Amino acid sequence: MIEVKTVIDAESFAALESRCFDQPWTASDFKPRIPYVGAALWVDQVFTAYAYGTLIGEEAELFRVACHPDRRGKGHGLRVLLAFQVDCFENGARRLFLEVDANNLAALALYRKLGWQQTSRRKDYFGLGNDGLNMALTPEALRSELKRGGY
Ligand SMILES: CC(C)(COP(=O)(O)OP(=O)(O)OC[C@H]1O[C@@H](n2cnc3c(N)ncnc32)[C@H](O)[C@@H]1OP(=O)(O)O)[C@@H](O)C(=O)NCCC(=O)NCCS
């Protein structure tokens, strides 16, 4: 059974970080200092994927989205990110932002699938040959992508 909740579970998020990122965050990095939003996904009660960011007024920023390496390619990343996005919009966000390594093709494809559009490019932002892409999402773009994708 797949269960998705809009919660911050700092310990669980941190436990997956080292499996998913070269520079993993610790649980204290997920402790809220400013308004925040998060989504968590369990498969048969096993913690599997999460999304985390901030929500300040009409602007939200996605900091992290990740899925356990052994459970990728099954739609969990999409489900948990969708829950994060919807929660942001339902709680007053008019625009979501993120920055992603242009070489992270899986993440890029996921973001595009959920309606994100590139707004600018920062050359070598993540190191030589690793440009940063800034992307944004509006409720309208999400709605139209969801309609198109038949979710
Ligand atoms: C990005 C990530 C969260 C995707 O999670 P996932 O559960 O495997 O993704 P999903 O199964 O939900 O895939 C949804 C869509 O994303 C895209 N996608 C996912 N993995 C992909 C890959 N390896 N190559 C190309 N596209 C991919 C596809 O469009 C896919 O839709 P489709 O299956 O209908 O083609 C996962 O790869 C991950 O945890 N990466 C490491 C952490 C990271 O880099 N996070 C992003 C920066 S914060």
Q: Domain ranges for the chain, please list them.
A: 2-149
| pLDDT tens digits for range 10-65 | 999 999 999 999 999 999 999 776 788 999 999 999 999 999 999 999 999 999 99
Give the confidence band of 146 by pLDDT, cuts at 50, 70, 90: confident
The pLDDT of residue 33: 67
Ligand 1, atom 24, lies closest to the CA of 106
| pLDDT tens digits for range 67-88 | 999 999 999 999 999 999 999 9
Ligand 1, atom 20, lies closest to the CA of 106
Candidates 81, 93, 94; CA nearest to 49 is 81
Question: Would the CB of 95 count as within 6 Å of ligand 1?
Answer: no
d(CA 96, CA 62): 7
pTM of the predicted model as reported, rounded to 2 decimal places: 0.96
The pLDDT of residue 34: 73
Ligand 1 midpoint to CA 32 (Å): 26
d(CA 30, CA 54): 11
| pLDDT tens digits for range 89-126 | 999 999 999 999 999 999 999 999 999 999 999 999 99
Domain 2-149 annotated CATH 3.40.630.30: yes
Identify which of 21, 43, 78 to mutate to test ligand 1's pocket (most ligand atoms within 8 A of the CB): 78
Ligand 1 midpoint to CA 64 (Å): 13
Residue 27 DSSP one-character state: G
Three-class secondary structure of residue 64 per DSSP:
strand
Residue 151 pLDDT greater than 80, yes or no: no
Q: Which ligand 1 atom is at minimum distance from the Cα of 98?
A: 48
The pLDDT of residue 148: 86
